[in-house]
Structure 1
Amino acid sequence: MNSPDAFNALCPTRQILDRIADKWTVLLLGLLAGRTMRFNELRRGVDGLSQKVLSQTLKSLERDGLVTRAVYPTVPVTVEYAITDLGRTLAATLEPLRLWAESHMNVIEQARADFDRRQQAAA
């Protein structure tokens, strides 16, 4: 097997980067880093996240070994999600990225407005 090279289109690293670059992954791992949560708690915890996308993202995170899913035979059935040790290492890596985005959003919004103004003036 060749060594990983994310710049090569066929490298499996690209799939991992796709998972990491997903905003829902960043936000869900951030929540789960705090504690185990139920599906609806996660849905309420991330504004704008649909039930369908939450379900798809959690399945992908579970498949990648970043989250575990536990089902309890209650009425109704209770399903809990927890971050794995691997997921914790990723969450710790992503947290500074989320904080950077929050602390620089005003500067980026201003840059976008300036760019749009220049584009409009050039048209």
Structure 2
Amino acid sequence: MLDFLLNEDVKQISTGALQQINLDTIQCEQFAASEPVPGLEEGILLQYFAALRQLLDLLMSWDWPTYFHDYGQENSKYQLVNPNNAITILEKIREADKKTMFSVLKKSERDKKKLLDTVLRQLRQLAMTAQQQ
């Protein structure tokens, strides 16, 4: 599912689509936790969803202050979230928001756009810093 979200053929992602992917991921996680798969170590199947879960949790809760504050720490709540993946998905969300005709009329939507632009700017700086290390 993470590969699908990051696929360059996917040009935009609406908030509703993201919520549905979150629900689908919850179903997959419940299935993965329900019964052990013969030949796989217990819990390994759930680990396949860990990076996606952390990314979805971050996007759904909009918990960017925690992400930026804890980035690079071992006990970070979002330690598996790659800043480049977050940038890619946020740009797709922004692209979907551009298609909403009435969003420019609402102050809350304008504020959301400003916040999104700020988060993207900070993520780009973080990604650049991470590449240089």
Q: TM-score, normalised by structure 1?
A: 0.30
Larger Rg: 1
Normalised by the size of structure 2, how large is the TM-score?
A: 0.28
Structure (1 or 2) with the greater strand fraction: 1
RCO (CA 8 Å, sep 6+): is it higher in 1 or 2? 2
Pick the structure with more helix per residue.
2
